Structure 1
Amino acid sequence: MNKPLASMSLDLDDQWSYMKVHGDDGWDLYPSYLDIVVPFFLDLLDEMDIKITFFIVGQDAVFEKNQKILKSIIDRGHEIGNHSFHHESWLKTYTKEKIEKEIILAEDAILKATGQKTRCFRGPGFSWSNDLLEVLAKRDYIFDASILPTYISPLMRRYYFWKSKLSKEERESRKELFGSFKEGFYSLKPFNWKLENGSSLLEIPVTTIPVFKIPFHLSYLIFISGFSMLLMKAYLNFSLLMCKITKTSPSILLHPLDLISGDKVPQLAFFPGMNLPTEKKIDVFKYTLNRIKKDFEVLPMLNFADGLIRQKLNIKDVPAGKS
């Protein structure tokens, strides 16, 4: 009997992008850890025989020093996606024309660096809008993956602001970071946006715990493991059990800081879980991915989207902007 499908992706947010959203000085010098992070992830994923989708920030692809590193993602058999050019979590406030320019700039930079055109998108800070969806559909994207269906988005944002150095104006520009309470009402299962201009676009939400709508992507598991590995394992096992009970194909999200600790990038010590040693993060990473593989067939997101069609799963139509 075939296992149910799951998808896995990594938002390749660079050091400067975390500093930028956090309001830290020096982000515009574009400090980077990609030369450390990308090979580290690729080696671990090879070891575990897992292929995933890397969502790349266009600005990083512009720098010649990063292009060989980003090309290695394709060379090692993984997929790539568009994570915007400037990585601004207030993307949803852009005009439609500015959104299209942002998408095209990132597409061109990523194509030049990797030799491959992007066909999928995730908004920075889970930022999205109807205009964004229409731009993606117009440019023949296969899917968007910007929705995080959780009711606790305002709490996540408040915690982030509490740890930040943002001015009043910067907080205002980031007021939609992680989305709003209404995000919790969106489906956890993939669905088709029916857009006002008559087009449609597949949405693959980042999976939260079915029914409870609490996040369980790896950053949360690492944070919990800092208190108790047993609690972390119980949390993950319960999350996956709820996915199986509700027949939800999980879309699992990874981030660079899931493997990098504060000793490597002290500028990002504000981020939860950065006090844990790298060795412990690796243990959590391996346990989590092996546990998911036990119950699900783990695929990159474009392959996952193809698998939805192959298995003839019922994908509901949802009017744009409505749950």
Structure 2
Amino acid sequence: MATRPLGTIQVDVDELWVYYESIGIPSDRVVASPVYTVGVPRLLDLFEQYEIRATFFVCGRDLEHPLRREIAQEIVQRGHELANHSYSHPMGFARLQGRALKAEVMEADARIAQIYGRPVYGFRAPGYSLNPELLQLLERAGYLYDASLLPTPWSSLMRWGQRLVSQGNVDTAHYGKWAYGRAPLTPYHPDMEAPERPGDARLWEVPVTTMPWVRIPFHSTFVATFGWWLFRLGLALLRRRGIGIHYLIHPAELLDPVRDARLSCYRFLHLPWSQKRPLYEAILHRLTEAYHLVPTAEYLGERLPLVPGEAEPVAPMAEREVV
């Protein structure tokens, strides 16, 4: 049997409050934790079934909640990587600068490191919304990679479509810039002033997978919305080009119906898990046939301990020298 190329599955653990904030409802009114208590455990069980080790991007704010923190600890105990998804998942992340940007990264890093017990290697910005200052901050802080860039020229069209179905505002920084459609489809060292161009940074940019040629985003939210045909097309194009995969999943997609009409723009929140499960099992089955799936830091060459305690404890970013 031929050796499978490496790939990753990356999980953005956006709790329900993130979806409410995206349509303008203050998150302090949302106290339920279905993503952590239902979506993440279902995903962990599926990963165990298919022998997958993945990367989970978590928000620091959620780790202040005892139950969510306990589930994050289980993620680590089951052999997965924890990475940084900002502290409070602010919309328009690319407009943050200076102290505000540093606080979003640092405060999340400190909380993740307490659970992880080793360096936090990776970061993904909310809404695929990055700027050069973010990359410079991550490089100074010793991060291995950023995974924020969505290499598609269709960002404006995607914002328009989301605005249409949500009947609300979509931040102009969401999905990134049109210029990012020129970025490589595989991991590269970016130019710190123009992240879509290869440069001489030590930091890796691990772009969210998009389909070759057509540059349509290829992750499970799109597949859950448009159907199995999109997955088959995307996987075929990637394999034809010999491109590794960094497949993105949101555990909110694995929930039972969320009975709130205000979230009707998120179709996947209104379907029963019994209806969605065969799709996710088929996706993971096909991905594990095609790729050897490992955490992102391991993909880039860092050996991650299989269980907690194999690595020396690391100081959180707040205690590292970041200027």
TM-score (normalised: structure 1)? 0.85
Structure 2 matches for 1:44-83, cutoff 5 A? 44-83=46-85
Counterpart contact for 1:62–1:113, Cα < 8 Å: no
Aligned-residue Cα RMSD (Å) equals: 2.3
Please name the residue that 1:88 is paired with.
90
Please name the residue that 2:241 is paired with.
246
The offset of 1:302, in angstroms, is 1.0
Structure 2 matches for 1:231-270, cutoff 5 A? 232=228, 234-263=229-258, 268-270=263-265
The offset of 1:180, in angstroms, is 2.7
Counterparts in 2 of 1:266 and 1:305: CA distance versus 1, 3 Å: farther
Matched residue type, 2:162: Y
Matched residue type, 1:2: T
Tell me, in whole angstroms, the C-alpha distance in 2 between the residues paired with 1:159 and 1:204: 25
Structure 2 matches for 1:103-118, cutoff 5 A? 103-118=105-120
Q: Which residue of 259, 263, 272 corresponds with 1:277?
A: 272
Structure 2 matches for 1:114-263, cutoff 5 A? 114-164=116-166, 166=168, 174-195=171-192, 199-225=201-227, 232=228, 234-263=229-258
C-alpha distance after superposition, 1:237-278 (max 9, x if no partner): 222222122221111000022211434666533203333321
Counterpart contact for 2:18–2:27, Cα < 8 Å: no
Tell me, in whole angstroms, the C-alpha distance in 1 between the residues paired with 2:163 and 2:84: 26
Q: Secondary structure at the match of 1:6?
A: strand
Tell me, in whole angstroms, the C-alpha distance in 1 between the residues paired with 2:165 and 2:233: 30
Q: Secondary structure at the match of 2:300?
A: helix
Matched residue type, 1:102: E
C-alpha distance after superposition, 1:82-134 (max 9, x if no partner): 00001013111011332112111001122234444421000100011100000
Tell me, in whole angstroms, the C-alpha distance in 1 between the residues paired with 2:159 and 2:224: 19
Counterpart contact for 2:16–2:252, Cα < 8 Å: no
**Does the alignment pair 1:20 with 2:21?**
yes
The offset of 1:4, in angstroms, is 1.3
C-alpha distance after superposition, 1:200-222 (max 9, x if no partner): 31111011111110122111111
Tell me, in whole angstroms, the C-alpha distance in 2 between the residues paired with 1:295 and 1:239: 13
Tell me, in whole angstroms, the C-alpha distance in 1 between the residues paired with 2:64 and 2:270: 32
The offset of 1:28, in angstroms, is 4.5
Counterpart contact for 1:8–1:252, Cα < 8 Å: yes
The offset of 1:290, in angstroms, is 0.7
C-alpha distance after superposition, 1:44-73 (max 9, x if no partner): 211121110000011101122321111000
Find runs of 4+ consecutive structure 1 residues off by over 6 angstroms: none
Counterparts in 2 of 1:266 and 1:298: CA distance versus 1, 3 Å: farther
Counterpart contact for 1:209–1:216, Cα < 8 Å: yes
Tell me, in whole angstroms, the C-alpha distance in 1 between the residues paired with 2:58 and 2:105: 12
Matched residue type, 2:73: K
Tell me, in whole angstroms, the C-alpha distance in 2 between the residues paired with 1:176 and 1:78: 30
Identity %: 27
The offset of 1:235, in angstroms, is 2.8
Matched residue type, 1:178: Y
C-alpha distance after superposition, 1:13-37 (max 9, x if no partner): 0100111122124544443221222
Counterparts in 2 of 1:124 and 1:43: CA distance versus 1, 3 Å: same
Tell me, in whole angstroms, the C-alpha distance in 1 between the residues paired with 2:150 and 2:278: 26
The offset of 1:151, in angstroms, is 2.0
Counterparts in 2 of 1:26 and 1:58: CA distance versus 1, 3 Å: closer
TM-score (normalised: structure 2)? 0.85
The offset of 1:163, in angstroms, is 3.6
Tell me, in whole angstroms, the C-alpha distance in 1 between the residues paired with 2:206 and 2:92: 20
Counterpart contact for 1:243–1:249, Cα < 8 Å: yes
Tell me, in whole angstroms, the C-alpha distance in 1 between the residues paired with 2:13 and 2:261: 18
Counterparts in 2 of 1:41 and 1:156: CA distance versus 1, 3 Å: same
Counterparts in 2 of 1:91 and 1:26: CA distance versus 1, 3 Å: closer
Counterparts in 2 of 1:24 and 1:255: CA distance versus 1, 3 Å: same
Please name the residue that 2:281 is paired with.
286
Counterpart contact for 2:85–2:125, Cα < 8 Å: yes
Gaps of 5+ in 2: 194-198, 303-323
Tell me, in whole angstroms, the C-alpha distance in 1 between the residues paired with 2:298 and 2:263: 33
Tell me, in whole angstroms, the C-alpha distance in 1 between the residues paired with 2:241 and 2:281: 25
Tell me, in whole angstroms, the C-alpha distance in 2 between the residues paired with 1:9 and 1:51: 10
Counterparts in 2 of 1:274 and 1:200: CA distance versus 1, 3 Å: same
Aligned length: 296
Structure 2 matches for 1:31-50, cutoff 5 A? 31-33=32-34, 34-50=36-52
